[in-house]
Amino acid sequence: MRNGKAWLIVGALLCMGMTQAEDEFRRLTDEGRRMSGKIIEQIRGELLKELERTGPLRAIIVCKYSAPEITSALSRQHGMRITRVSLRPRNRATGEADAWEQQVLLDFEKRQARGEKTENLEHAEIVQEPAGRFFRYMKALPTAPVCATCHGQNLSEGVKAQLATEYPGDRAADYPVGSVRGAVSIKKGL
């Protein structure tokens, strides 16, 4: 009888631990969603404001300088690494996907090809890396019509020239509207 009670207690403790782990994972995922929404909203706001004010040529400059500043400030403020990554980055210094991010981006493309909406694509996971244990989260960035101005298939000659000046070796063009252009990536040490 005593052994039976002991096993019930051990089982209850294991379940409780699992529930706490699940709750923590849910909390981290919700935080990832909030942070990705915040960065998307802030960068989109800056870009739309510049597009309306001066057009796409100056918006390229905003994307080059303001977007990394916004992600850096949010990263410091929230104690996590927040960045935008792509399989075809425009700025390799800030947008090159690591191996984990590449796998998730490829999975996003497969899921989209199977009919999932790009704006709904996300992935969260706890990973063990050489530097420690991390919560990782990614939210797909769909190519919206406004994004196609600088990332789409029919760029103006002026945009092409500006991109060639600002981003030699640019690979972030020729995206169809609705496709996965990249993702917001969040990494937080545990």
What is the token pair recorded at 71? 């992600």
Neighbours of 54 (CB within 10 A): 12
The model's confidence at residue 6, banded by pLDDT at 50, 70 and 90, is very low
Q: What one-character DSSP code corresponds to residue 147?
A: T
Average pLDDT over residues 121-148: 92
Global model pTM greater than 0.85: no
Please tell me the distance from the alpha carbon of residue 31 to that of residue 41, in angstroms, as a whole number. Answer: 15
Please tell me the distance from the alpha carbon of residue 125 to that of residue 148, in angstroms, as a whole number. Answer: 31
**High-pLDDT (> 90) share of the chain, %:** 45
pLDDT, tens digit, 9 for 90 and up, residues 37-84: 999 998 888 888 888 888 777 788 888 888 888 999 999 999 999 999
Please tell me the distance from the alpha carbon of residue 97 to that of residue 180, in angstroms, as a whole number. Answer: 14
Domain residue limits, the chain = 2-189
Neighbours of 42 (CB within 10 A): 16
> Which pLDDT belongs to residue 125?
93
